[in-house]
Amino acid sequence: MATLQHFRELDPLPGSVGDVFRLIRSDIATTRSALARKTGLSPSTVGLRVEALQRLGLIAEDGEHRSEGGRRARLLRIVADNGHVVAIESGVRYLQVLVADLEGNVLGEARHDGVLELAPREAISAMWERIGELREQIGGASVPLRGVVVSVPAPVDYATGRIATPSYMPKWHGASIVELFSTFTDAPVLVENDANLIALSELPARGHSRENLLAVLLGTRIGSGIIANGQLLRGENGAAGELSHTPVNAEPTIACVCGLESCLESAASGAAVASRLKVLGHDVRSMTDIAILGRGGDPEVLAVLRDAGTLIGSVLASSVNFINPRSIVLGGIMSTSAPLVAAIRAELFQKCLPIASEGLEVRAIEAPETAASRGAFRLLLDEVLAPARVDHLARQADAAAQIA
């Protein structure tokens, strides 16, 4: 049974095995003497903690580090290759699988056709097969699988791993990705909204942050993730940042499940822009085609992109007034469309309160195609290597040793 317990939010006991691991992982203390100084533990107790971590295969001691007294101390480091973590990005039209080591270095990736049209059980089974194929391909089929994170384009109830509002994925109503994965693996499985992961990708890889930002995913649909004071804001039902169904005063070009006459998604999402461009006679098969068409400079195409950008900018202006972020980061393939982004910026700065827009930075995210997976690995590694989880593993190992 896959664990639904989230260790990331729990604090480890000071001086515990997990606490010592936290200090090593965050580079705060990477020698035995530094650990003793930082924790106040005796050198022999530090030795016991280090041994416990070595038995778990999580750290190794090697190299030499000149300590202040001139003596050479051996460095403690994370054993990055003692486990795989997997990020699955299940998009509207594609499935992307990435495998990384325990430091988040990507070891392999593969892109396949999307599976969200399938029934959940079949879709998860297909995901599991793709994970196995990729791990085999990179020669790591026997490396322990430490965790999986699945990114979906829908609001998620993070605590249970259920898709909160399946919107255009009716077959997924009430489906628990975590439960479905538990027939294949005991490793922890996390499920998160794609825009939330893009927001998380903007935080530093380790340590604390006081960032306030709004990440906006401009793809086939529109999603957004909020970081408030360094923390992802999920909201009571996982719907925080769900600005795509804000009512707008514009003609909808695609139908939307939200039931509003016209919402931002139905009038200005990538799918809505594609539909408008098709009516104008353009051959649009993907979001990338829209970005390419925009670069061509056709006045009709530019007008469509400008209209969509204006609607998005107007909704974002209300959000900026409301949460006062330091930056708005635009992700998704549509964020590579310069005319769309220019229209968003123009409308946003014109409509929002000067006090909210002062110092506001609006920019396209770097490497948009991998942003969600960067955020996914950050979330997953913080969970898989959470100090409280390491304490839990150490207790399990002790209990097993006593039985044996």
Cβ closest to Zn ion, residue 245 vs residue 392: 245
Cβ closest to Zn ion, residue 194 vs residue 265: 265
Q: Identify any residues that bridge with 223 across adjacent strands, giving them in sequence order.
A: 217
- Mask: binding to Zn ion, 190-229, rule CB under 5 A, as x and -? ----------------------------------------
Instruction: Identify the residue whose tokens are 């839990």.
Output: 392
Cβ closest to Zn ion, residue 270 vs residue 368: 270
Site for Zn ion in 155-184 (CB under 5 A): none
Cβ closest to Zn ion, residue 248 vs residue 348: 248
What is d(CA 131, CA 51) in angstroms, rounded to the nearest whole number?
A: 32
From 202-210, 265-273, 295-303, 311-319, give the range in contact with Zn ion by CB under 5 A.
Answer: 265-273
| Least CB distance to Zn ion at residue 277 (A) | 20
Site for Zn ion in 55-74 (CB under 5 A): none
| Least CB distance to Zn ion at residue 225 (A) | 18
Cβ closest to Zn ion, residue 104 vs residue 166: 166
Cβ closest to Zn ion, residue 190 vs residue 315: 315
| Least CB distance to Zn ion at residue 290 (A) | 20
| Least CB distance to Zn ion at residue 244 (A) | 6
Considering only CA atoms, which of 30, 21, 112 is closest in space to residue 64?
30
110 lines the binding site for Zn ion (CB under 5 A): no
Name the strand (E) or helix (H) holding 18. helix 17-25
Cβ closest to Zn ion, residue 243 vs residue 343: 243
Cβ closest to Zn ion, residue 250 vs residue 371: 250
- Mask: binding to Zn ion, 368-397, rule CB under 5 A, as x and -? ------------------------------
Considering only CA atoms, which of 300, 316, 311, 395 is closest in space to residue 348?
316
The tokens describing 108, both together, are: 């392999």
Size of the site for Zn ion (CB under 5 A): 5
What is d(CA 328, CA 78) in angstroms, rounded to the nearest whole number?
A: 34
End-to-end C-alpha distance for the chain, whole angstroms: 24
Number of C-beta neighbours around residue 184 at 10 A: 18
Instruction: Identify the residue whose tokens are 């014109």.
Output: 350
Site for Zn ion in 306-345 (CB under 5 A): none
3-state helix, strand, coil in the chain (%, to 5): 40, 20, 35
> Are 348 and 316 contacting, i.e. CB atoms less than 8 angstroms apart?
yes
- Mask: binding to Zn ion, 235-264, rule CB under 5 A, as x and -? ----------x----------x-x----x-
Q: Identify any residues that bridge with 218 across adjacent strands, giving them in sequence order.
A: 222
| Least CB distance to Zn ion at residue 34 (A) | 54
| Least CB distance to Zn ion at residue 45 (A) | 58
Q: Which of 19, 101, 194, 265 binds Zn ion (CB under 5 A)?
A: 265
The residue type found at 126 is: A
Torsion, Cα 99 100 104 109, to 10 degrees, reads -50
Strands (E), 241-387: 327-331, 361-364
What is d(CA 253, CA 72) in angstroms, rounded to the nearest whole number?
A: 68
- The separation between CA 35 and the C-alpha centre of its own chain, rounded to angstroms, equals 31
Q: Identify any residues that bridge with 99 across adjacent strands, giving them in sequence order.
A: 86, 108
Cβ closest to Zn ion, residue 260 vs residue 397: 260
Cβ closest to Zn ion, residue 169 vs residue 232: 169
| Least CB distance to Zn ion at residue 228 (A) | 24
Number of C-beta neighbours around residue 261 at 10 A: 11
> Are 289 and 334 contacting, i.e. CB atoms less than 8 angstroms apart?
no
| Least CB distance to Zn ion at residue 221 (A) | 9
| Least CB distance to Zn ion at residue 399 (A) | 51
| Least CB distance to Zn ion at residue 263 (A) | 3
Q: Is the dihedral of CA 378, 381, 383, 386 positive or negative?
A: negative
Site for Zn ion in 72-91 (CB under 5 A): none
Give me the residues that bind Zn ion (CB under 5 A), please: 245, 256, 258, 263, 265
